[in-house]
Structure 1
Amino acid sequence: MNDDARQATLVASRRLAVAVPAAPRRGHLHVGDSPAGPDAIEVTSRYVERAGRPWFPVTGEIHYSRIPRERWSEVLGHARAGGLTSVATYVLWQAHEPEPGRFRWDGGLDLRAFIELAARHGLDVVVRMGPWAHGEARYGGFPDWLVDRGLATRTNDPEYLELVQALYAQTVAQLVGLTHVEGGPIVGAQMDNELYDQPEHLARLREIAEEAGLRVPIWTATGWGGAQVPDTLLPVYSAYSDGFWDDEQTEWPAFASFHFRYSPVRDDLSVGADLREALDGISVDAGAPPLRDDDEVPFATCELGGGMHVAYHRRPLVTPRDIEALALAKVGSGSIWQGYYMYAGGTQRTGPHGSEQESHATGYPNDVPQVTYDFAAPVGEHAQVRPHHHHLRRQHLWLHEDGHRIASMTSTVGGGSEDLDELRWAVRSDGRSGYLFLSTYQPSTQPLPGQVDVQITVDLDDDSVTVPTVPVDIPAGVSLVWPLRYPVSPSVVLRSATAQVLTRGSDDDGEILVLGAYEGIPVELVLDGLLDVGGAGAGVVRGGTTVVSLVEPAGPRCVVELPGVRILVLDPVSAQRLYVLDLAGRERLVLSDAPLYSLGGELVVHPDEAQHTLWLLPAPAGLVADGAHLSDPRDDGPWRTWTLDARYAGRTRLMSEVEPHATAVPDPVRGGPMDRLSAPTDFTGAAVVHVDVPAELLDGADRALLRLTWTGDVGRAYVGDRLISDHFWHGRVWDVDLTPWAAEVAASGVRFELLPWRRSTGVWVHPSVRDVPDGVHVAAIDLVRVGRVQLTGVEKD
């Protein structure tokens, strides 16, 4: 077969026609603002509208009651900088009514203060009101005294509802003046959680909340697992790339691979199935159809796995790229609301009965750590910023810029079955323009191969677009989205591009469209018409279009000049460093290799190394730093750059290559309703490592983390007799925040009690870290000092 025939065959086999979607249905759902105002929220059958145009919310779960109050602002700042538009949070009944009739809303339980602070950071709020929440909280968040009464909870039992009415009345009282209709940030409320067979109860919960005075435009209930959701609530969905709740014999859960393919099916019958079976005796047929009337409600999510918790018996190692690819697959499948669980980790609360984590002792199928609820989230238990914060921000910048267009587009799957060798692709389009999604990504337990000579033709309503113009190879492990007929300016249309739309910016020279290149894929830009091209681009006229290739490598200096507009093409590393933040009253493009966020028109940087570089576009005339020394500015292409020297940030090695000996190891035991491995409780024979921390290393830093790189089974960290952290080893480092205990640590150090790894126990860990010897090995203990630098922009007089 000659090359022309081969290319024609490829194009023909990868061709898809998309049509202009029908108008969405309106007025049939019992949600939305009433009466409507200028910022009214309406839910149609396909998307949510706000202020009269489609709206694409991005929500992340952050539990105020599990984060020290003094860290709320930092965590919310990172969430907003990461591209979230809203946060969701559980109201844990056990925290707020520890004794019957005695409610607490003080200190770290001040829900109202948390919501007000979220609003200050520009974030909306979804209140997950319970009464049952779960979230790996003891008895699912129910107080012990409620459990002891033996009521028919999570039903319309009158005695139970009387207690719920009191809880809701107290909760709603905290929200007065903060709802959307009152000009506040609260846009939604969720009723209960993962309740599958009590639609009348879910409906009654909304009624109770409304009777207490709550008015919000969006009322939701979790819809996965074939849940029966009443028509007064909007079903929202989940997707996880792995699950600690599966058995230790499971190499990769059966449900997981589905979420890396494009599909209009929203439901996942297996998330939480163990809890349903163990506590409620309910089994869902895996072949059951998805929730009825999907076409009547939009595809909204609330629990895309932002990470994954670990149980003793099963300890997933979900990677940043797993999370990134799953999230993008949901956008390609038609999601109009991205919601992550968790977005920021936290610490399990301590209550009257000790740690309030769920466990075999409370009848839960899985033993989870007593202290940590880090969840390997984008923002960690101690506000550590992880790589997936940056991976996801790349998507969120795009959703922020183009979400009003994307939300109204429908998704059509072009290819991608369970066959690992088949290219996975889909198109999301309004019939005239859109986005092409392609993926060769699946987690390393079942990876996908690369694809050779990829070229797709999309037949739109009035035109056909073939991308790229010459077939390209797609490397393995890539998840991407390319624009089709994208309006760059009133006179420039980007017909196609083998790069991702990220965001837009502007400076004194005009508008800038920012694209992000993908590793291993040449950047090609195709523009409608015959256009002059300059800067980092070279144009060739072909068939009524201008095909642009780059004459400089993608990066911060790669600027393609077009009539009246510029296109900045960032390399993959720079794209992960890109923020859009307010500084001195103006949104600016920011490239930073240290985590940062904006608050009150200033930038707050949290460096963990002594030196970092900051790029701004457009730049203010100057910067003033509090907490670091700034170099003189330097102009670099369209950017101005500064080097930041943070004197209180950096890493110090305290100990390395230690193999402490455990004198006795407890025998494995099983427990809980599914007879799974239980976490050991006997540490009398554990290996002990004592770490002294010089007092001068604890002074000045905003946060001091003791970081263990180790292998073993279970570890506990003590300051004196106080348990301050624990860890089920699963291949990640273990961070212990010393900041709250700095004086005690300086005086007496930290004691680690570590139980050794024994393969024969049968605990599941990821294959990439599984081949470790039995015993305890501490490769390194570092003190990581995180600084806080405040940057103020100075404009010209």
Structure 2
Amino acid sequence: MTSAVRPGTLVAPHHLTVVAPTAPRRGHLSVGEPPAGDDRIEVTSRWVERGGIPWFPITGEIHYSRVPRDRWRDVLGHARAGGLTSVATYVLWQAHEPEPGVFRWDGQLDLRAFIEEARAHGLDVVVRLGPWAHGEARYGGFPDWLVERNLATRTNDPAYLDLVHAFYAQTIAQLRGLAHAEGGPIVGAQVDNELYDQPQHLARLRELAEELGLRVPIWTATGWGGAQVPDTLLPVYSAYSDGFWDDEQTEWPEFSAFHFRYSPVRDDLSVGADLREALDGITLDPDAVPLKDDDAVPFVTCELGGGMHVAYHRRPIVAPADVAALALAKVGSGSIWQGYYMYAGGTQRTGAHGSEQESHATGYPNDVPRVTYDFAAPIGEHGQIRPHHHGLRAQHVWLQQDGHRIATMATTVGGGSADPEILRWAVRSDGRSGYLFASTYQPAKAALPEQRDVQLTVTLDGGDVTVPTQPVTIPAGVSLVWPLRYPLAPGVVLRGATARVLARVTVDDREVVVLGAYDGIPVELVLDGDHEVGGAGVAVHREGATIISLAAPAGPTCVVELESARIIVLDQESIDRLYLLEVDGRERLVLSSAPLYAVDGELVVQTESPDVTVSLLPAPEALRAEGSDLSEPSDDGPWRSWQVSAPQAGRRTLVSGLRPEATSPRPERGGPLNRLSAPTDFAGAAVVQVEVPPELFDGVDRTLLRVRWTGDVGRAFVGDELISDHFWHGRDWDLDLTPWASAIARHGVRFELLPWQRSTGVWVDPTVRQIPDGVHVAAVDVVRVGKVRLTWSI
């Protein structure tokens, strides 16, 4: 049971009794593979197994058709380095069959090549087959010619299914030989998307794909919104911390707060509700659809918000910490598969009818940008590595290494109330060990207070574990996970800790375990039994336990020495630099001040800074840098470090401090929900011409333009070609100039900027809302991104 902890009040510790979870049901689902093969995938009622071992997949959405083909390698490399085990991708019908019977699979539409590239990075693939996808695409991804035929789409109408058959046949031909059973990386397929009331059609789509030769172990359909998912498909779920699809009067969507609490409830009735109402005429009564924990299928997510897109009428800011806290809350709630939408942003395609984005003109309730589909994702539209890439990676490395245990652990909620003054906490456990989750985190617009005098006792098989030994204050804005009876090394058990588990490697037959401290919470480690402690650890032996505090600040050199293990306790800055990568034939811990990934026997560093530090543990015999200066190595505690020079990288300001005159067009509304429409009249826009010196393109991997401005809508042109657009929402506007270098030498970059006008009623985040009307360009910077390749072969 649990008691309320109110700020400033000392009360009895929180207490929860955890029992061993029941064995999963097997063989009752129409997914999985026959009982043969060393890498067989089986789906039980509680988790997924691979090769007979519980498996915790981590999937990120990346749309190959929205990312230039020459950037696939970098994007997928960073995705793998970010801890993903797989990528999901939409197959947008409009892109591949622009005219009836005319199919394209060339260039960045080469689905097969994208999957092969994913395999080269060690990533599995989930193919979202459509035929309807949404993804903020025009007509949900349907080609215009299909819409014009006025068929009964998304049903088993024979005329529609004939066209789907042709599209599926072409798609599945691209996948031949790439399915898991064929030794390929494709482990799953999703049919349609957000279809709520046609279970017989969803079932038929799987049958059709299988008739055409696609055999994958996992078949899914989106289950949110009370969707009727047939028993031949695995329902998968979503969770977003905000939504552009809500109304401009909504300060914070009602659904959002739920996702920052611990709960076994998987469904969300509001994601996609605007389309359900506007396109399908379906309005759900929340009381009519039971939201329950379904004990027949595992808790699988496919759309945890990796960021958030913007619409003209509503432009949320999803902070990096929002993304990481929501994701961790789902692990604490029982998720056994983390799936993100989007993980990497992209660019809307341009087709025969112009930009292929969702809009009022095509009957959708929202106007979204014509070009950018950045989604404020962990990897941006142009390959920018965002802070939440690092925040999620810390979770993913942990899940990669301990996921086989976590997947089998059931969740017991200790406190999940909506009351902001009651501690939110849960335990995920196999009965004898597990993890304790607690949170004081919600987005800033509905922030939670700190929790004082917190001490939690969990009764496991074998006795109580109390964490910490003395009550502590959990500061506001913290989402934490603490280990319970975590095995450090043979014969050494970490009974409890006020630090998170990050990663582990073996060095010279000794376990090196990396933990992460939380800002504002003293680190305490409690070992079962009596142990000699050295290094940065200070030990007290009491009642059959060794209680360790730190004599040095957390950081890369904070090492607690035990006889059979070393514990490194990192601070938050170092946590954000930590990777677990294969280097020179084995997994190694890497600390890097710039984003990097490993592939084909090299570390690829991409940096906006001319100076980079890379540290490894254990270190390879030597490192070499291609096209860059590399210092002699230095030893810093257990790490070996190198200074990497990338002098070509850096930032230069081209324009600053502009306040050009501009006038707004008359606001208009449109679409089925009568929302504010994106302006099309730019006659009164401020025009800002930016010249980019040609030498800024030389010797770098990418040349970005970063615009810091306030206003309403911006468009960027090179000559007469629209290369980017931006609905101002408080974040910088990045453009990749690299593909346009030669044209920019002739034309420069022309910006057309419409002014902010508060009276229009556009919703923006409260943190940026108090800006003056008009246009203000604080700065236009060139950001030169360098690439350095580090190798270890002699």
Q: Is the 8 A contact 2:89 2:126 kept in 1?
A: yes
Query: Residue 256 of structure 1: SS of its match in structure 2?
Result: helix
Paired position in structure 1 for 2:52: 52
For residues 193 and 290 of structure 1, what CA distance do their matches in structure 2 show? 21
Q: Is the 8 A contact 1:265 1:290 kept in 2?
A: no
Aligned-residue offset at 1:621: 2.1
Query: Residue 294 of structure 1: SS of its match in structure 2?
Result: coil
For residues 373 and 541 of structure 1, what CA distance do their matches in structure 2 show? 56
Return the letter of the residue paired with 2:783. V
Query: Residue 163 of structure 1: SS of its match in structure 2?
Result: helix
For residues 276 and 716 of structure 2, what CA distance do their matches in structure 1 show? 34
Paired position in structure 2 for 1:173: 173
State whether structure 2 residue 761 is matched by structure 1 residue 762.
yes
For residues 491 and 186 of structure 1, what CA distance do their matches in structure 2 show? 40
> What does 1:460-471 align with in structure 2 at a 5 Å threshold?
460-471=460-471
Paired position in structure 2 for 1:570: 570
Return the letter of the residue paired with 2:779. A
State whether structure 2 residue 560 is matched by structure 1 residue 560.
yes
For residues 575 and 185 of structure 1, what CA distance do their matches in structure 2 show? 30
Return the letter of the residue paired with 1:244. F
For residues 579 and 284 of structure 1, what CA distance do their matches in structure 2 show? 44
Q: Is the 8 A contact 1:11 1:455 kept in 2?
A: no
Q: Is the 8 A contact 1:11 1:456 kept in 2?
A: no
> What does 1:217-366 align with in structure 2 at a 5 Å threshold?
217-290=217-290, 294-366=294-366
Return the letter of the residue paired with 1:179. A
Query: Residue 445 of structure 2: SS of its match in structure 1?
Result: coil
Aligned-residue offset at 1:416: 2.6
Paired position in structure 2 for 1:495: 495
For residues 385 and 520 of structure 1, what CA distance do their matches in structure 2 show? 27
Aligned-residue offset at 1:53: 1.1
Query: Residue 255 of structure 2: SS of its match in structure 1?
Result: coil
Q: Is the 8 A contact 1:535 1:560 kept in 2?
A: yes
Query: Residue 318 of structure 2: SS of its match in structure 1?
Result: coil
Q: Is the 8 A contact 1:502 1:514 kept in 2?
A: yes
Q: TM-score, normalised by structure 2?
A: 0.98
Q: Is the 8 A contact 2:262 2:416 kept in 1?
A: yes
For residues 719 and 35 of structure 2, what CA distance do their matches in structure 1 show? 58
Q: Is the 8 A contact 1:11 1:457 kept in 2?
A: no
Return the letter of the residue paired with 1:53. I
Q: Is the 8 A contact 1:128 1:189 kept in 2?
A: yes
> What does 1:393-472 align with in structure 2 at a 5 Å threshold?
393-472=393-472
Paired position in structure 2 for 1:158: 158
Aligned-residue offset at 1:13: 5.0
Per-residue CA distance 1:290-321 (angstroms, 9 max, x = gap):
46771100000000000000000000000000
> What does 1:602-641 align with in structure 2 at a 5 Å threshold?
602-641=602-641
Paired position in structure 2 for 1:714: 713
Per-residue CA distance 1:396-429 (angstroms, 9 max, x = gap):
0110110000000000100131101111000000
For residues 290 and 617 of structure 2, what CA distance do their matches in structure 1 show? 47
For residues 524 and 11 of structure 1, what CA distance do their matches in structure 2 show? 21
For residues 581 and 465 of structure 2, what CA distance do their matches in structure 1 show? 35
> What does 1:509-524 align with in structure 2 at a 5 Å threshold?
510-524=510-524
Query: Residue 466 of structure 1: SS of its match in structure 2?
Result: strand
State whether structure 2 residue 37 is matched by structure 1 residue 31.
no
Aligned-residue offset at 1:542: 1.1
Q: Is the 8 A contact 2:41 2:49 kept in 1?
A: yes
Q: Is the 8 A contact 2:265 2:291 kept in 1?
A: no
Return the letter of the residue paired with 2:609. E
For residues 317 and 352 of structure 1, what CA distance do their matches in structure 2 show? 32
Query: Residue 26 of structure 1: SS of its match in structure 2?
Result: coil
For residues 514 and 587 of structure 1, what CA distance do their matches in structure 2 show? 14
Return the letter of the residue paired with 1:766. D
Q: Is the 8 A contact 2:266 2:292 kept in 1?
A: no
For residues 450 and 580 of structure 2, what CA distance do their matches in structure 1 show? 33
Closer/same/farther in 2, CA of residues 11 and 186 from structure 1, 3 Å limit = farther
Paired position in structure 1 for 2:3: none
Aligned-residue offset at 1:633: 1.1
Per-residue CA distance 1:591-642 (angstroms, 9 max, x = gap):
0110000011210000101111111111122211113211111111111111
For residues 403 and 291 of structure 2, what CA distance do their matches in structure 1 show? 26
Query: Residue 606 of structure 1: SS of its match in structure 2?
Result: strand
For residues 704 and 65 of structure 1, what CA distance do their matches in structure 2 show? 22
Alignment length, in residue pairs? 789
Paired position in structure 2 for 1:386: 386
Paired position in structure 2 for 1:789: 788
Return the letter of the residue paired with 2:784. R
For residues 677 and 119 of structure 1, what CA distance do their matches in structure 2 show? 43
Return the letter of the residue paired with 1:654. L
For residues 20 and 112 of structure 1, what CA distance do their matches in structure 2 show? 44
State whether structure 2 residue 678 is matched by structure 1 residue 670.
no
For residues 386 and 420 of structure 2, what CA distance do their matches in structure 1 show? 29
Q: Is the 8 A contact 2:13 2:455 kept in 1?
A: no
Aligned-residue offset at 1:90: 0.1
Q: TM-score, normalised by structure 1?
A: 0.98
For residues 309 and 119 of structure 2, what CA distance do their matches in structure 1 show? 28
Aligned-residue offset at 1:368: 0.1
Query: Residue 615 of structure 2: SS of its match in structure 1?
Result: strand
Query: Residue 296 of structure 1: SS of its match in structure 2?
Result: coil
Per-residue CA distance 1:307-345 (angstroms, 9 max, x = gap):
000000000000000000000000000000000000000
Per-residue CA distance 1:77-103 (angstroms, 9 max, x = gap):
000000000000000000000000111
Aligned-residue offset at 1:746: 2.1
Query: Residue 389 of structure 2: SS of its match in structure 1?
Result: helix
Paired position in structure 1 for 2:116: 116
Return the letter of the residue paired with 1:183. G
Return the letter of the residue paired with 1:597. Y
Query: Residue 250 of structure 2: SS of its match in structure 1?
Result: coil
Q: Is the 8 A contact 1:482 1:499 kept in 2?
A: yes
Paired position in structure 2 for 1:377: 377
Q: Is the 8 A contact 1:266 1:290 kept in 2?
A: no
Q: Is the 8 A contact 1:267 1:290 kept in 2?
A: no
Q: Is the 8 A contact 2:378 2:387 kept in 1?
A: yes
Per-residue CA distance 1:679-728 (angstroms, 9 max, x = gap):
00111220011001111111111000000000000000000000000000
Aligned-residue offset at 1:353: 0.1
Return the letter of the residue paired with 2:286. A
State whether structure 2 residue 583 is matched by structure 1 residue 583.
yes
State whether structure 2 residue 575 is matched by structure 1 residue 541.
no
Closer/same/farther in 2, CA of residues 579 and 699 from structure 1, 3 Å limit = same
Return the letter of the residue paired with 1:253. P
Aligned-residue offset at 1:564: 1.0
Question: Which shows bigger deviation, 307-316 or 282-291?
Answer: 282-291
> What does 1:9-88 align with in structure 2 at a 5 Å threshold?
12=12, 14-88=14-88
> What does 1:647-796 align with in structure 2 at a 5 Å threshold?
647-662=647-662, 664-794=663-793
Aligned-residue offset at 1:507: 2.5
For residues 416 and 12 of structure 1, what CA distance do their matches in structure 2 show? 18
Aligned-residue offset at 1:12: 4.3
For residues 728 and 290 of structure 1, what CA distance do their matches in structure 2 show? 37
For residues 706 and 660 of structure 2, what CA distance do their matches in structure 1 show? 17
Paired position in structure 1 for 2:102: 102
For residues 287 and 418 of structure 2, what CA distance do their matches in structure 1 show? 16
Per-residue CA distance 1:149-170 (angstroms, 9 max, x = gap):
0000000000000111111111
Paired position in structure 2 for 1:141: 141
Return the letter of the residue paired with 2:472. V
Return the letter of the residue paired with 1:607. T
Q: Is the 8 A contact 1:227 1:291 kept in 2?
A: no
Paired position in structure 2 for 1:3: none
